[in-house]
Structure 1
Amino acid sequence: MVELKTPAEIERMRITGRFVAGVLAELRDRAQIGVNLLELEAIVRERIRERGAVSCYWDYAPSFGRGPFRNTVCLSVNDAVLHGLPFDYALSDGDVLTMDLAVSIDGWVADSATTVIVGTPDPEDARLVRTTEEALTAAIAVAHPGNTIGDISAAIGGVARAAGYRVNTEFGGHGLGRTMHEDPHISNTGRPGRGFRLRPGLTIAIEPWFARTTDRIITDPDGWTLRSADGSRTAHSEHTVAITPDGPQVLTTV
């Protein structure tokens, strides 16, 4: 069931969104050569504790994972793209790191992800990251009342195809608000004009993610980390967005 939020409830989600954006900005600065993923996880735990927030990942146990998840942030390196478990690994020059964070404050959730390249970027990795960001921008641009989920999906898929990337449809965006995952599902490719019609009060996470040379993914033995099936590098960009009478509003910004 799709739950529409009031303007006051959207403002409460914006508070959470600013916190999520601030933590991710700190992680982007901290993600340097030699930094261990467990250090980044520790930073997130401390920021959540300081704010009195609640991690949406801790104890998360969906059907597709080997739950419960026992970390507060997803950290996915190189060919890993989603649900990466932080582990004892020091970042190396050229690593591609995706950081995905979902938090609840006073009962309202925000979810965002960003991908950074540590040290010296490979040009093709930089192009991949840039394409996910461009796809996210294109998707947000069409998230107006009266348009459809299909319009958002088509915008993402169009940017991906124009850049030469294939799109996986197993995991995509989603509604959120009181919980991390609500209806509707938002595929990263689709047909314009199809699906749920966007209305003011809808709050969604839009999250394009692509791999360089495949649209297939595999799951690590840890039961969580999703990787490109061919080992190619990956990237992921995500924002929480509210549909309002005045157009889309990004809630996960500082």
Structure 2
Amino acid sequence: MKIKNKNFDIKQIAESGQCFRMNPIGPNRYSLVAFDRYIELEQLEDDLIEITCSENDYNKIWKDYFDLDYDYGYIVDNLIKGPDEFLNKAAEYGRGIRILRQDPFEMLISFIISQNKNIPSIKTCIERISQVYGKRCIDGTTGSIYYTFPSAKVLAEAKKEDLRALKLGYRDEYIIGAAKAVISGELNLEDLKVCSHEEAVKSLKTVKGIGDKVANCISLFGLHHIEAFPVDVWMKRVLSEIYDNKFDPNSYQGYAGIVQQYMFYYIRHVYGVSN
């Protein structure tokens, strides 16, 4: 299945910090495990991607997953033409990033794991937890072996010492607690997808181990509230060094999360290389 889109770059998405199971497997080629499925994606041209899926699966799953009905080009063009010089460059540089519509429970657990870890460490932990608690599958198209992300029920019944053995550290208790909150209905992720971003963050923060940054990441990357504006160490650097802590996300109301991704990707991949 080939997809033509000017604002769809798999390398940029894979390195944008929003997903942890999209990995390089060759030149311009990536694997992805999501929604208990495995696909491979290849960037054939700047605006052309090939996905190893059927047209039916594309329409049922991947078109929505990659948010392909949303016009990111309109956002990019407006930012490039706008008065903010840093955002002009950031939007141009990261114009292929899209906010994925990922599984809310996977993002809940993934961003709990992400605390005080770099991206390679987060990826390693998620693969470990999937191999131990997920299901082993073989993709019918490529023959690749992969492991699904574990269900809330399985993680709710996990033992702390077993999770600790996977080098999850203090997060073991938080993972079990969050899974139990989902199973009990105390945390209804489907409801949080349709409520406001502010309500979602408030509910998420009632779960032990979820603070403001993690709640905003889950809201943006798991619930698709694209007005969310997570602030991590890289974003703190942007806000302090570039904007003297005077940047107002409300200036980009309704799509501040997209702006955040352009900022994050640009500062990390351009400024971060030499500094």
TM-score under structure 1 normalisation?
0.31
Larger Rg: 2
Which protein is richer in helix relative to its size? Answer: 2
Which protein is richer in strand relative to its size? Answer: 1
Higher relative contact order (CA 8 A, sep 6+): 1
TM-score under structure 2 normalisation?
0.29
